[in-house]
Amino acid sequence: MQISIKKISIYILLMLVFLYLLFFYFSDSINEIAKAGIKSDLKIIKKATLQFKKDRGFFPKNLAQLKPYFTAMPSDPWGDAYIYTVGDGWVELKCCKSKKIQVDRFGSE
């Protein structure tokens, strides 16, 4: 039995449409899972940052100074480091790859 190129093309097109619809359906769920992970990581980094300040009297200048407070340094769901900014008495943590930039700012502002 020989299958024509036309039938193969139709099957491939149908598979692509199915995969696209499947991805579209699950993409919101994947984003929600990523957002929950980001929120959890930001909370953990905040806790370590505040403990660092309690131990030393000042905020760390960068995330690398927090390594002793983690068994593994948290990274966002895409494997990138979180953006850590320290100002005069405040710290800002953010993840920019999520659809909405998630920010946690704390300290005396």
pTM of the model: 0.68
Under the banding of pLDDT at 50, 70 and 90, the label for residue 108 is low
How far is it, in rounded angstroms, from Cα 75 to Cα 44? 11
C-beta separation of 82 from 103 below 8 A: no
Q: Quote the mean pLDDT of the chain.
A: 86
> Could you read off the pLDDT of 32-72 as tens digits, one per residue?
888 888 889 999 999 999 999 999 999 999 999 999 999 99
Above pLDDT 70, what percent of the chain? Answer: 92
Cβ contacts of residue 34 below 8 Å, gap of 6+?
76, 77, 98
> Strand 102-107 to strand 83-86: parallel, antiparallel, or no bridges (unpaired)?
unpaired
Looking at residue 1, what is its pLDDT?
A: 59
